[in-house]
Amino acid sequence: MDELQKAAKIAFATEFSFYLKAHNFHWNVVGRTFLQDHELFGKIYEEVYDSIDDFAEKIRSLGTFMPGSYTRFSVLSVIDDEVEVLPADAMVAELLDDNEKVIKLLKIVFDLSEQEGKHGFSDFLAGRMDAHEKHGWMLRSTIA
Ligand SMILES: [Fe+2]
């Protein structure tokens, strides 16, 4: 259970960082494809943000406290902060790369959750993986 809790917190902090980066890109993207990119990043950050509270409360239900500060998130997240304003294509490519990292982590937590017989949590994680596969499809299609 300890391993599940730890992995879940890493996945959560990474998911939160992913949300923040998508929102950051939504705000700061420029260029000839501004409207499409602004909207794509908007769709992604909104979807992820809507899942955050449920994700945190499901981990709380495993009996552990939640990280909820930028300091803790920066320690736990496997996604690097982006402090530069990148060209639009570079934003899409970076978010696609981060999206793969999120999916990998979700799979690890899913497997641990199944080992612990936490099928309800696994179901939630499968939904998150599914949502991120869709984000990946959209990001990949944008830079094809
Ligand atoms: Fe907006």
For residue 26, the CA-to-ligand 1 centroid distance in Å is: 7
Residue 117 backbone zone (phi > 0: left; psi -120 to 50: alpha; other: beta) = left
Q: How many CB atoms lie within 10 A of CB 87?
A: 12
Distance CA 23, CA 32 (A): 19
Helices vs strands, H then E, count in the chain: 5, 0
Q: Is the pTM of this model over 0.85?
A: yes
Average pLDDT over residues 84-90: 98
Distance CA 143, CA 65 (A): 39
For residue 23, the CA-to-ligand 1 centroid distance in Å is: 8
Question: pLDDT (tens digit, 9 = 90+) per residue, 18-59?
Answer: 999 999 999 999 999 999 999 999 999 999 999 999 999 999
Q: What is the predicted pLDDT for the residue at 12?
A: 98
Q: What is the predicted pLDDT for the residue at 1?
A: 74
Q: What is the predicted pLDDT for the residue at 36?
A: 97
Q: How many CB atoms lie within 10 A of CB 102?
A: 25
Residue 91, φ and ψ in degrees, nearest 5: -65, -45
Distance CA 65, CA 126 (A): 22
For residue 12, the CA-to-ligand 1 centroid distance in Å is: 23
Residue type at 102 in one-letter notation: V
Question: pLDDT (tens digit, 9 = 90+) per residue, 99-142?
Answer: 999 999 999 999 999 999 999 999 999 999 999 999 999 999 99
For residue 6, the CA-to-ligand 1 centroid distance in Å is: 33
For residue 51, the CA-to-ligand 1 centroid distance in Å is: 18
What the block records as the tokens of 72 is: 């803790």
For residue 84, the CA-to-ligand 1 centroid distance in Å is: 19
